[in-house]
Chains A and B, each alone.
Chain A
Amino acid sequence: MNLVFAFIAGLVFGIGILIAGMANPAKVLGFLDVFGAWDPSLGLVMAGAIAVGVMAFALAKRRSTSLLGQPINLPTNRQLDRRLIGGSLLFGVGWGIAGICPAPGVVLMGAGQFEGVFFVLAMLAGMGVYEWVATTSTPLQAKPTA
């Protein structure tokens, strides 16, 4: 049951990405091109998603278990540290180069775009480098993601 709903959540998420235009790198870059011909569409994607998300998380915070009886896993880290800011700044650079972020990258694979496959493999390599650094140096412990 759990797996069926995880699949459905991924499926719905992917369909939302396609309809929103997030799986079109040219459109994403148009949103980031604030100093050129700016396409504000993706601001509305965020607004729509957050409008529903706010209600969902307000409900989730009042529950101890999910509808399937699973624990509700909410991030507990509150630190505004160098890792968070440095990592996010770096992510934005990669996002701005190709107009692809992780979820649309995976959707592009399903759409049969070979660029999506290369993007996701390179992304896994980048995450792998992080894992390798995190396991070989003690001060950089891997923390759960948001």
Chain B
Amino acid sequence: MHIAWDQFTPYSALTGGLIIGLAVALFILVNGRIAGITGIVSGLLRPKPKDTAWRVAFILGLVAAPVLYQLVATLPPIEIDANLPMIVLAGFIVGIGTRYGSGCTSGHGVCGLSRLSPRSLVATIAFMFTGVLTVYVLRHLIGLGG
């Protein structure tokens, strides 16, 4: 292991993190909701009365972010190395896993850890572990990408 100092972007990472935290704070204090994307999206698949509009509004906000961002600045770089079959496979696995595990990076990783939830700590350790393991296998054992 060595640190890729040329890739390290501490200021933008910290700034982006603080802004994500601000969004999380707004959503729980103003709307009384957890900003967990898995929960917000999956709630649309089994709609309950009066439980759909706020989900759609939040998701539209996420979609609008890069659109509005581009009006004032150039979008930060987006590099996608995975090919389409891998993207689809990844999305499908993420869908089953996050729904089964009741949350993802936002719900468990940010909101759950902020709530000091033991469940979310266990979940975050679990998905970080297999995330690191998967990249290790794909990059260093099989030799794909990076």
Contact = CB atoms under 8 A, between A and B. Distances in A.
Interface of A: 2-27, 29-30, 32-57, 59-61, 63, 65-68, 70-75, 77-80, 83-103, 105-113, 115, 118-131, 142-146
Interface of B (DSSP majority class): helix
Contacts of B103: 88, 145-146
B100 A130 contact: yes
Contacts of A47: 14, 17
A110 B67 CA distance: 6
Interface size class of B (residues with CB under 8 A): 35 or more
Given A80-B119, A84-B122, A110 B45 contact: no
B31 to A, nearest CB: 6
Nearest to B27: A9
Nearest to A120: B91
B25 to A, nearest CB: 3
A22 to B, nearest CB: 7
Contact of B65 (A65, A84, A101, A110): A110
